[in-house]
Amino acid sequence: RHKGHSAPSRAYARVAHGERVRNAHERKRWATERKLNRNSWKIGKTFAASQAKLWTTRKWARLQEYRRGRAERSRKLQEARRKTGEGRRLRVEKAEKDKDSKNDKISRFREAKRTQHEKAAQYAEHQRNVREKQRNKVRQDEVRWSNSHHHKAGMHEQQLRLAESHRKDAEKARDVALGQLERRDKA
Same structural domain, 71 and 104? no
CA gap 161, 167 in Å, rounded: 10
Q: Taking each helix axis as running N to C, give the angle between helix 7-84 and helix 86-150, from 0 to 180 degrees, rounded to the nearest 10.
A: 120
- 179 lies in a domain? no
Residue 142 clears pLDDT 80, i.e. is over it = no
Helix%, strand%, coil% for the chain, nearest 5: 95, 0, 5
Same structural domain, 35 and 110? no
Same structural domain, 27 and 65? yes
Same structural domain, 103 and 157? yes
Same structural domain, 3 and 78? yes
pTM over the 0.95 mark: no
Give per-residue pLDDT as tens, 59-87.
888 888 888 888 888 888 888 877 877 77
Domains in the chain, number: 2
Instruction: Give me the domain span that covers residue 3.
Output: 1-84
Same structural domain, 102 and 133? yes
